Amino acid sequence: MGDVLAARSQMAVSLGFHILFAVVGIAMPVLMIIAEARWRRTGDAMYLELAKRWAKGTAILFAVGAVSGTVISFELGLLWPGFMRFAGAIIGMPFSLEGFAFFAEAIFLGVYLYGWQRISPRAHIVAGALVAVSGAASALFVVIANAWMNTPTGFRLQNGAPVDVDPIAAMLTPAAFHEILHMLLAAYAATGFAVAGIHGFMLLRDHRNAFHRRALVVALMVGVPAAIVQPISGDISARYVAHWQPPKLAAMEGQFRTESGAPLRLGGIPDVAAQRTRWAIEIPNGLSLLAFHDPHAVVRGLDAVPRRDWPPVPVVHVAFQIMVALGTYLALLGVWVAIETWRRRDLPANRWLMRAVAIASPMGFLCIEAGWTVTEVGRQPWVIFGVMRTADAVTPMPGLIVPFLVISALYCFLGVVVAWLLYDLVMRSPITREGDGTMAPVAA
Amino acid sequence: MATAIAFVALVALNAYVLLGGADFGGGVWDFFATGPRRAEQRALIAEAIGPIWEANHVWLILVVVLLFTCFPAVFSGLAIALHIPLTLMLIGIVLRGSAFAFRSYGSAEDGPQRRWGRVFAIASLLTPVLLGVCIGAIASGRVGAILEQVYRHGRGESFVSLYVSPWLSPFTIAVGALALSLFAFLAATYLTVEADDAELREDFRRRALAAAIAVFVTAFLALSLARSHAPRVSAGLIASAWAPLLHVLTAVSAILAIAALWTRKWRVARVAAAAQVTLILWGWAAAQAPYLIPPTLTIGSTAAPRRTLALFLIALALGAVVLFPSITYLFRLFKSARMHEPGANRTN
């Protein structure tokens, strides 16, 4: 493995690991404050129990998110000093603002987790809401930085160096709006369905369990609207990519040739040597219609750019197909849940629905991983699209496979531990059944 | 303007050392918890750092984002030359934080509690050493010298001479030991204020005094090695106009801290200890100024364009308006008027 590939792999592992925890940090506080608000309003102690148990899980996940985020802030330099040297002054701003947002998040999470007995009920909910708001703000700023790497603005190149640096213009980069929208919706959808899936699975064992019934409803309140709206945001994203990063769109769609009335390909494996995508279901004019809202629009294929500027096409195409397939499943499931709720059916009693919810549990997170693969691998071979190649940004230190393996091993270990701790937490949930009145003693 | 921002970086690093450093120091005393009150010592440490360590940790992130926004060449230079110790430090940071959360919120059974406690304590012990090693390597001037070679001659030199020997020397290890002693000293001194129980307070008083001796020994060692290993910083600390005043102030706060611990004036000791550590840090910074990475990269030569610096200062001011009241609130909530109910802090 060469040094550039090792560095890219280490960055992929670090981002892929961190994003799971970051997403939970964005959405979980929303679930917690809904549960807490319901407890305050109804006096139903089961909601308090729910808020406290979710807070426990969130505390573990947030801590791992905080430290794995620190790793990334250093790795930007450790692995890509060339990038930071070039881009620091242009795009350091959103990273700094992210630092402030993260500060607020950490402060109010401390208040929320340890302040149950110390502050007024209102102050406690406000602290929770501030965690949720600053979590979303952190995501917003980090995604702006990533958007800039896709559509760099706010500077002029002179002899290979940036001049006329304008950090505000850099933050208003064209890719920012759709990336932020897509990421935030993804965070709420993925977390909502992940939590709903866990409790749905428990409800398959006993659909009258009072704890899991309440948990399911609150989780779906967050997950369902986001999942239903997400395809619209996906459409906006695709059109932006089609306009600003044609090679990325071509790789996503396996579109090798520039043509008008390009078909939409479902599935299939791009064959780079033969320059065609095999075994895909092709919907005539579909891609032109989706990308430009015109069935005869010209879609620029990979042949529009030199071969050395192609991203790894099969990875991008397959990751995109996975994202779309799983996202569609979540959106349809969301519609099903919405219909059943509107018809005032008892959701937990519907075993088929609960099965569908239970298997959805990991899907949102897989979607997010696939989506980031599309964004990041689809930008290659550039670290700053059209401006700096990834290979030119890497550190001169040789032997990068060693830190890659060390960090990967560390994260595998932590991932297993976290999964086990959460499993343990879920398995010790209260077992009171609906209508039994008293709460069963709970082992803490 | 660049100098003002470099000053902010120093203040942020200072806050990290005083707050985050003490959290690491707490882990050190978890490692060295001994005697009949071993369990109580560990419980006090966990209670003291639980609500605040994540917020304290963000000071380090602030230093990082500040460096790469306002002094990009410094950030990328440090990341190249100190790749190995920084990566090791990150592993320590990850294991410390995760293990602490796993212990606090995971299974309450003895086995896992002990194992995670062990990981937390060992990571707390090693991370400060690595931070000190990195600072020592910068002060020695060898990081700057190596960067010249990396940028000018590419990869001609051997791996060890470029990426290991600049940060691995008796001097950098002495600075690492000094950082560890300082953090342990801070933590033990803070804990004498936070302990409710007289015996527990005595435990940490003894520990604070022992750490003060360790600080004295390691500081002496680092200073004597600095003459040959970090001549520029050493010369600054001896010959500058401000040097005598700095040494007097540092000595006064050190003696005051020890005297206050001796006479059990806990709050005075806490302030004096923090002042002593601050003065040591500022002494290093003053001796090295205007260099960020001696002997080549200065504040002026590496600063980002003025527009970026101005925006950063504005963002900093806005951030401070929001964050300072929040931090004050957090600390008032958990650090003043401590509640004398065991477990009042915990969510379960």
Cβ within 8 Å of residue A119, ≥6 positions away: A111, A127, B333
Interface check for B153 against chain A (CB to CB < 8 A): the answer is no
Answer yes or no: do A93 and B78 touch at CB < 8 A.
no
Chain A contacts of B64, Cβ < 8 Å? 73-74
The distance between the two most distant Cα atoms of chain B, rounded to a whole number of Å, is 64
Question: pLDDT tens digit string along A175-213?
Answer: 999 999 999 999 999 999 999 999 999 999 999 999 999
pLDDT, greater one: B60 or B345: B60
Question: pLDDT tens digit string along A213-231?
Answer: 999 999 999 999 999 999 9
Output the pLDDT for position B155. 55
Output the pLDDT for position B153. 63
In the predicted structure, residue A374 carries a pLDDT above the cut 80 = yes
Mean pLDDT, residues B289-300: 85
In the predicted structure, residue B292 carries a pLDDT above the cut 90 = no
Chain B contacts of A403, Cβ < 8 Å? 83, 87
A-chain residue closest to B60, CA distance: A70
What is the residue extent of each domain of chain A?
183-398
Cβ A231 vs Cβ A243: under 8 Å:
no
Cβ contacts from A onto B, under 8 A: 224
Chain B contacts of A406, Cβ < 8 Å? 87, 91
In the predicted structure, residue A441 carries a pLDDT above the cut 70 = no
Residue B40: pLDDT band with limits 50, 70, 90: confident
Residue B207: pLDDT band with limits 50, 70, 90: very high
Cβ A302 vs Cβ A185: under 8 Å:
no
Buried b (16+ CB within 10 A) or exposed e, A133-161: bbbbbbbbbbbbbbbbbbbbbbbeeeeee
Output the pLDDT for position B156. 60
- Closest CA relative to residue A104, chosen from A129, A82, A79, A77: A129
Answer yes or no: do A84 and B54 touch at CB < 8 A.
no
Low-confidence winner among A185-199, A252-266, B98-112 (lowest mean pLDDT)? B98-112
In the predicted structure, residue A281 carries a pLDDT above the cut 80 = yes
Answer yes or no: do A96 and B304 touch at CB < 8 A.
no
Output the pLDDT for position B144. 85
Question: pLDDT tens digit string along A41-63?
Answer: 999 999 999 999 999 889 889 98
Output the pLDDT for position A1. 79
In the predicted structure, residue B334 carries a pLDDT above the cut 90 = no
Output the pLDDT for position A435. 65
Question: pLDDT tens digit string along A1-28?
Answer: 799 999 999 999 999 999 999 999 999 9
Give B160 to chain A, closest Cα distance, Å.
Answer: 11
A-chain residue closest to B152, CA distance: A396
Low-confidence winner among A14-28, A42-56, A97-111, B153-167 (lowest mean pLDDT)? B153-167
Chain A contacts of B54, Cβ < 8 Å? 62-63, 66, 106, 109-110
Mutate to test the interface with A, among B60, B87, B109, B293 (most CBs of A within 10 A): B87
In the predicted structure, residue B145 carries a pLDDT above the cut 90 = no
B-chain residue closest to A60, CA distance: B101
Interface check for B301 against chain A (CB to CB < 8 A): the answer is no
Mutate to test the interface with B, among A75, A91, A114, A171 (most CBs of B within 10 A): A114
Cβ A357 vs Cβ A197: under 8 Å:
yes
In the predicted structure, residue A29 carries a pLDDT above the cut 60 = yes
Give A366 to chain B, closest Cα distance, Å.
Answer: 23
Output the pLDDT for position B196. 84
In the predicted structure, residue B231 carries a pLDDT above the cut 90 = no
Query: Which two structure tokens, joined as six digits, stand for A303?
Result: 């042949």
Output the pLDDT for position B229. 87
Question: pLDDT tens digit string along B253-266?
Answer: 999 999 988 998 88
Answer yes or no: do A99 and B62 touch at CB < 8 A.
yes
In the predicted structure, residue B340 carries a pLDDT above the cut 60 = no
B-chain residue closest to A397, CA distance: B80
Backbone angles phi, psi at A152, to 5 degrees: -65, 130
Mean pLDDT, residues A55-77: 91
Output the pLDDT for position B285. 87
Buried b (16+ CB within 10 A) or exposed e, A412-433: eebeebbeebbeebbeebbbbe
Answer yes or no: do B315 and A97 touch at CB < 8 A.
yes
Output the pLDDT for position B56. 86
Question: pLDDT tens digit string along B208-225?
Answer: 999 999 999 999 999 899
Interface check for B304 against chain A (CB to CB < 8 A): the answer is yes
| Single-letter amino acid, residue B124 | S
Residue B93: pLDDT band with limits 50, 70, 90: very high
Output the pLDDT for position B47. 87
What is the residue extent of each domain of chain B?
2-335
Mutate to test the interface with B, among A116, A397, A416, A422 (most CBs of B within 10 A): A397
In the predicted structure, residue B348 carries a pLDDT above the cut 60 = no
Output the pLDDT for position A15. 96
How far apart are alpha carbons A112 and A130 in whole angstroms?
10
In the predicted structure, residue B146 carries a pLDDT above the cut 70 = yes
The distance between the two most distant Cα atoms of chain A, rounded to a whole number of Å, is 76
Number of Cβ within a 10 Å radius of residue B316? 19
Window 39-78 of B: residues touching A by CB (8 A cutoff) are 50-52, 54-55, 57-58, 60-62, 64-66, 68-73, 75-78
Chain A contacts of B157, Cβ < 8 Å? none
Residue B197: pLDDT band with limits 50, 70, 90: confident
How far apart are alpha carbons B171 and B176 in whole angstroms?
9
How far apart are alpha carbons A163 and A135 in whole angstroms?
33
Answer yes or no: do A114 and B73 touch at CB < 8 A.
no
In the predicted structure, residue B346 carries a pLDDT above the cut 50 = no
Answer yes or no: do A396 and B155 touch at CB < 8 A.
yes
Low-confidence winner among A38-52, A97-111, A320-334, B234-248 (lowest mean pLDDT)? B234-248
- Pick B327's closest partner by Cβ from A57, A107, A117: A107
- When the pLDDT of each residue in chain A is averaged and rounded to a whole number, the result is 92
Answer yes or no: do A77 and B68 touch at CB < 8 A.
yes
In the predicted structure, residue A265 carries a pLDDT above the cut 90 = yes
Chain A contacts of B58, Cβ < 8 Å? 99, 102-103, 106
- When the pLDDT of each residue in chain B is averaged and rounded to a whole number, the result is 87
Give A89 to chain B, closest Cα distance, Å.
Answer: 5
Chain B contacts of A148, Cβ < 8 Å? none
In the predicted structure, residue B154 carries a pLDDT above the cut 70 = no
The gap from C-alpha B173 to its chain's centroid, in whole angstroms, comes to 15
Output the pLDDT for position B66. 92
Query: Which two structure tokens, joined as six digits, stand for A339?
Result: 């219909």
The gap from C-alpha B112 to its chain's centroid, in whole angstroms, comes to 29
Chain B contacts of A109, Cβ < 8 Å? 54
In A343-400, which ranges are continuous DSSP H helix?
351-360, 363-379, 390-393
Mutate to test the interface with B, among A52, A75, A97, A100 (most CBs of B within 10 A): A100
Answer yes or no: do A93 and B308 touch at CB < 8 A.
yes
